[in-house]
Each structure stands twice: as C-alpha cells, then as structure tokens.
Amino acid sequence: MFAGRSRTARISALLTTAAAMAAGLLTATAAHAVVGDQAQDGAYPFLVKLDITMGDAKRACTGTLVDPRWVLTAASCFADTPGAAVPAGAPKGKATATVGRSDLSNTSAGAVRDIVELVPRTDRDLVMVRLASAVSGVTPASVTTSAPTEGESLQSAGFGRTRDEWVPDHAHTAAFTAGTLTGTSVQLAASGDAAICKGDTGGPVLSTTGGHTAIVGVSSLSWQGGCLGTDPAETRTGASAARVDDLAGWVKQVAYGPAFAGAPWDHAVQMTAGYYTGGSAGGTRHMDLIVVWDDGEVTLYQGGEGNDPAHPFSAEYQLAPRKSIWIKALSVTSVNTGGGTDGVVVRWIDGEMTLYTTVDAKGFHGEKQLAPAKNETWRDDAFQLVGGRFTAGGHRDDLLVDWKDGHVSVFNDVAVNGLKKQTQVVAKNTTWPHATQLTSGSFTGKTTDDLLVRWSDGETTIYPGMNGKSLPGELKIRPARPDKSNWADATVVAAGAFTANTTADDIIVRWSDGHVSLFPGVDAKGLHDEFRLAPAN
C-alpha cells in the first residue's frame, strides 16, 4: 500500500496539514484512535494514554507499558515535524503517561507519570519512553518474538477519536489482518468498518497465540477512512505498523539500562568478559561482563540480544555477596577451557592462582588450583595478567603475564598444562612495568587474539595477532600526551563482543571518576564512537 515511497512522502499523503491542525493533535503520522469496539475495563491494563506538549501545540498518542518504568510507542509522537528524527534524551516539552486506565473518566484509577527520557530507534517509527517513577499494580505487556504472518488476525487498541467522538473517554479496539511485511513494518487491512484514527499513534498491534497476547507491532500510519474529521471522500482504512517482533531483546536491554547505570562504578576494581550465560560467538546473545567490586561482591551482567551500543546488557546476577573472599582477588581474567561456558583465572592476594573452568549465572564451577597459597612468585613478582588465544589452535586458555621486572611471558593451554609451559616473549626491561591495564580482544582480524595495553602515561597500544613467541609490531590507538588523550584515567578496561556478536572488538572502560564508556568496533585505526553507559559517581 505504501511501498516504494519515503516515510515523509507517505505521511504527507495520509495527513493534510489543515486536518492535523484542526485536530490540535499529532501532525507527524496518520495512525492516531481506533474505530471499533470500546475496550472492556481491565482488558488492556498495559495500555497508556500519552499527552505531549510541543511548544504551543498539544498532542495525544497511545503507548504500551512494557516494563514498570518504560512505555513503547511511536517516535513520531515526539517529532518536531513530520518525518523528523527524534533525539535521545529528555522530551522537548512536558509529556505525561496515564497508565492502567482504559476508562479515562475514572480519575481515581490508574497512575499518571511524567516522561523523562526518550530512547528512539533510527530504523523505524519506535521509541522507548522512560517514566519518572515505576508503575505498580499493572502487568506490563510482553513483546512477541514471532513474526506476524500474512493473513493473521491482529488486534489494535488506542485512545484516539472514533467515528463520532473527538476525545473518547474509553480506549477502543479493532480487528485487522496482517498484510505485506517488510523487515521493519507490517501492513494492516481493516476488518469490517475498523479504522485507526488520530490519537492512536504508538498504540499496540497485538497477536494472540495459545491464549497469550503480546505486542507484534506499533501503530504508525493510517488512511483514517471513516474517522471523525477525515474527508468523507477518503474511504481507505488500511494502516501500517512498525514491527517489534525482532526487537524483544532491544526492549529488554533499554529497560535494564538505568539499573546498569545506577551501579556504584567507582568501586569496580576488576572487569572481564566472556560467554557465561548461554551465548556463543555468532549466536544471538552477546558476551557477558563480570565485575568484581572493592567490597568483595561479584556481579555478572548478561549480554543482550540487540545491537544497541548504548544498552549492551539485559540483566544481572550476583555471583558473590559483599564481604566475600573475592575482596582478595587481585586479577580476574576470562578463559575458555572447552567447557559449556567460559571460565576465569584468578590471582589472589596471597599468591594462589585458581582456574574456574566454567562460570554461569549461579556462580563459579570446576575450581582447580594452578599455584598454591603463599606462593612468592605469583604474590610478589606477577604484575598484570590476561587470558586469551595467544597461540594458534586450541582453546582461548593461554595466559599472558607481565612481571614486576618488565619481562613478559605466555603460559600455553593452562587448562591442560597449568602453569608449567612458559615462553618468554619480552626480556627484562624498564618499559613493561608501566603497563597498567592488559586486555585481549580481536581488533585486527588475526587468527589469534590481539593484546591491548594501556600504559601509565595514557598511551594505549595494540599488539595484533599474538604468536606466543614474541611481540608483533605495535599499533598506537591513543597518544601519551594528556592534552590529546584522557586514557591515563582509564582505570579498568575489558574487551568483548557486546554489540555485534561475531568479534570481541568492543571495549568497556571504567574511568577514574566512575563513569563507564563503551567503544564499539575498535580496530587497527583505533577508537571510534563512544557511548556513555553510566555517569560519574
């Protein structure tokens, strides 16, 4: 119905400026109240009425509560002009959400919350809206992971106008049939005299399978045939919705974002990344992050399934409580020994070296002692260490160690050899004692892992494709000069596949002031975009 035309052109064809201004509502899209049956009280508790002020204009939209603090709706509700991009952050004007009140005349029911943050998609007409505080007593709707099929019966709901009401006091629902699908949209054919009108933009399009109802799309555009105020000559009632069935992971990650940002990151002392909760290279779930805090607590942050670098994680698990033995962990680094999940090597304050062959959301498993406690070599002489695949073949369970006197060595296949098979790759020197952060990743496309080193003066270098015998030529990605680089403040660094689950080329940094950044897609040319995941604290 709308194929082959730009989004702006479609909007212009569906809404005339005069009609939009007369309505005093949304001017960006055509899909604004459902002409259909009045929704029964309590039938759609997750339905949200949005009231938005843009300058002197007021708009009404519909949304869906998908988390106690988050609403999913159309980005166009917050656009300055039709087709304009919506920036992330606070809305430009006052905006409120009324939740849990299908009967708007019942002011004693439901809850009203201010809207404080917008997280838009750039590939379709969607935005996640954060509320000032959580809503209790309302079960959020779920987002389906199954794509609609052509001919499938769907239900649309919204608070917009009907055939004979400008501002109805009840939500309405209507039946539609799924039509043509693209990667980001689904066309809707009205059943009977159903239509989507002004005020329904952002409302849910719902599918029901096995008695379970979930969101499959979000109303975006409509011809509005039969809606009050539409030209009587307009008889078309079809509509278009933004698909969300492929965005369940993104919705979960965005909703989790504030919890991740709210952690006391200035107390994070160790970070390492791996596949601990079921993900694998090339799979849908990205790498997880283990964080050791200075009070001994250990947290596992589960990687998400969406590729949004601003929201890489979707859940968290406590692996060890506060005041645990992990307060004595000096170094923690991820390895893979061929088990079901990745594991970690730990250097403890008394010199003991421990290998946990696997880690999952329930904790650390398969403990093996690599060096006993009160071991002077590992207690006094070891400086920095990192796990990775530094020799061709085998698992990612080589261990590179930077010693106090500056020499660097690689212990091959610690799962099999323990700490017995050591190869020196750098002789004693006065440079390597200044290596203050070691991280392994796949930044240059080599068959073995690269070594990233952050030096005490802030210079940061990559040694591409470690061979377990000598250091390859270095690539400088950050200079030492403090006026050109702040990497002397990069206090804790980890690398992993946090955005596109193919290569461990994303870097997470906890800075000295506690703020956390993600640099996706680091390569031989250096760092590129920076996304702040948590503020200074």
- H or E segment to which residue 228 belongs: none
Residue 12: the pLDDT is 28
Residue 342: pLDDT band (50, 70, 90) is: very high
What average pLDDT score do residues 4-11 get? 26
Q: Is the pLDDT of residue 216 over 90?
A: yes
Give tens-digit pLDDT for 405-448. 999 999 999 999 999 999 999 999 999 999 999 999 999 999 99
Torsion of CA 267, 269, 275, 278, to 10 degrees: -30
- The more confidently predicted of residues 121 and 502 is 121
CA 106 to chain centre: 37
Cα–Cα dist 537/112, whole Å:
30
494, pLDDT greater than 90: yes
In a domain, 5, yes or no: no
State which amino acid sits at residue 307. N
pLDDT tens profile 376-404? 999 999 999 999 999 988 789 999 999 99
CA 292 to chain centre: 21
In a shared domain, residues 158 and 281: no
Is residue 11 assigned to a domain?
no
Tell me which residue of 492, 429, 439 sits closest to 461, measured CA to CA.
439
Same domain, 354 and 487: yes
Q: Which of 280, 310, 388, 404 is nearest to 351 (CA)?
A: 404
* Six token digits for residue 267: 């107390």
Strand 204-209 to strand 70-73: parallel, antiparallel, or no bridges (unpaired)? unpaired
Q: Find out whether 32 and 77 touch, Cβ atoms under 8 Å.
A: no
pLDDT-based confidence at residue 25 (cuts at 50, 70, 90):
very low
Q: Is residue 128 part of a domain?
A: yes
How much is the average pLDDT of 137-161? 92
**Tokens (6 digits) for 139:** 């079960």
Better-predicted residue by pLDDT, 40 or 512: 512
d(CA 147, CA 243): 8
pLDDT of residue 83: 79
pLDDT at 13: 29
Interval 63-93: pLDDT, tens: 999 999 999 999 999 998 877 899 999 999 9
**187, 221, 245 - which closes a domain:** 245
pLDDT tens across 258-289, in order?
Answer: 999 999 999 999 999 999 998 888 888 999 99
For residues 206 and 339, membership in a common domain is answered with no
Q: Parallel, antiparallel, or unpaired for β 398-403 and 435-441?
A: unpaired
Is residue 176 located within the same domain as residue 76? Answer: yes
Percentage of the residues of the chain whose pLDDT score is greater than 90: 72
Average confidence (pLDDT) over 23-36: 37
Domain at 443, CATH number: 2.120.10
Identify the domain boundary among 211, 245, 279: 245
Q: Which domain-ending residue is among 191, 212, 245?
A: 245
Rounded to a whole number of angstroms, the CA Rg of the chain reads 27
The mean pLDDT value for 19-26 works out to 31
**Residue 29 confidence (pLDDT):** 35
- Which phi and psi (to 5°) does residue 328 adopt? -100, 10
Transcribe 117-135 into DSSP letters: EEEE-SSSS-EEEEESS--
Identify residue 425 by its one-letter amino acid code: V
Pair 135, 240 in one domain: yes
**What mean pLDDT is reported for the chain?**
88
Region 507-527 average pLDDT: 97
Does residue 356 belong to any structural domain of this protein?
yes
* Structural domains of the chain, count: 2
Same-domain pairing of 328 and 342? yes
- Region of poorest pLDDT, from 22-36, 339-353, 369-383: 22-36
Residue 16 counted as domain residue: no
Which residues, including other chains, have CB under 8 Å from residue 503's CB and lie 6 or more apart? 442, 445, 497
194 inside domain: yes
Whether residue 208 has pLDDT greater than 50: yes
Query: Quick one: pLDDT band at residue 32, thresholds 50, 70, 90?
Result: very low
Same-domain status, 362 and 284: yes
229 and 259 share a domain? no
pLDDT for the residue 38: 55
Task: Give the three-state DSSP class for 132.
Answer: coil
| Domain interval for residue 165 | 36-245
Question: pLDDT confidence of 484, banded at 50, 70, 90?
Answer: confident
- Does residue 499 lie in a domain region? yes
**Mean pLDDT (whole number) for 50-73:** 93
Please check the confidence at residue 327 and state whether its pLDDT lies above 60.
yes
User: What CATH number should be reported for the domain holding residue 72?
Assistant: 2.40.10.120
Rounded average pLDDT over 138-158 = 94
Query: Per-residue confidence at 485, pLDDT binned at 50, 70, 90?
Result: confident
Half-sphere CA count of 6, side-chain side, radius 13 A: 6
Distance CA 202, CA 58 (A): 16
Distances (CA, A) of 162 to 31, 177, 330: 12, 20, 65
Same structural domain for residues 132 and 275? Answer: no
Is residue 343 located within the same domain as residue 477? yes
Same domain membership, residue 208 and residue 297: no
Q: Are 138 and 190 members of one domain?
A: yes
Kindly state whether residue 283 falls inside one of the protein's structural domains: yes
